[in-house]
Amino acid sequence: MSTFTISHEFNSDADTFWKTFFDREFNEKLYKEHLQFSHYEIVEQRETDREILRKVKGTPKLNVPGPVAKLLGNGFSYVEEGKLDKATKLWSWKMIPSALGDKMRNEGVVRIEPIGPDRIRRVAEITIEVKMFGVGGLIESSAEKQLREGWDASAPFFQKWIDSHR
């Protein structure tokens, strides 16, 4: 099992961050154009008094070793189910992969920490677990690398979007 934390700082307040996080146009451009997903779709997004729920389907551009690519198969995709608890401002999510679904767990939480006037830190705590003898560790490390690259690539795009929509 691999558990890791990724953090990025933004010139923003928490409300603007979350508004952007749930903006459909922002997400379409981030995933399809910037991160080069071959498919990205917000299947459901709804809000209640206590939470915001979102379900997305995505087919990411993968950069993984050959054995991992073979195990995941052509056209690897996932469904992400998540919710923002409005009281705690904590986004929790889990990914359901198109391959290895019964052997792979990928989930996490995202929180925002204020670090100054109009400045925040996005902190993502992510867990990846693959229960496959002999290759589980390779898949976990490949997934962690892929996720770190994606989150790191999203940060400047996120800031640019916030700056251009103020």
Would you state the pLDDT for residue 68?
A: 83
Would you state the pLDDT for residue 73?
A: 81
Higher pLDDT: 117 or 157? It is: 157
**Per-chain mean pLDDT for the chain:** 94
Q: Across residues 103-111, what is the average pLDDT?
A: 96
Residue among 62, 42, 35 nearest 156 (CA): 35
Residues 10-37: pLDDT tens digits? 999 999 999 999 999 999 999 999 999 9
Would you state the pLDDT for residue 145?
A: 93
Sheet arrangement for strand 119-130: 2-10, 119-130, 104-116, 90-97, 78-85, 51-59, 39-47
Residues 54-66: pLDDT tens digits? 999 999 988 888 8
Instruction: Say if CB 110 and CB 90 are below 8 A apart.
Output: yes
Residues 65-92: pLDDT tens digits? 888 888 888 889 999 999 999 999 999 9
Residues near 35 by beta carbon (within 8 Å), at least 6 away in sequence? 60, 61, 150, 153, 154
Domains and CATH numbers, the chain: 2-164 (3.30.530.20)
How do beta strands 2-10 and 39-47 pair? Answer: unpaired
Would you state the pLDDT for residue 26?
A: 98
pLDDT at 113 over 90: yes
Higher pLDDT: 39 or 135? It is: 39
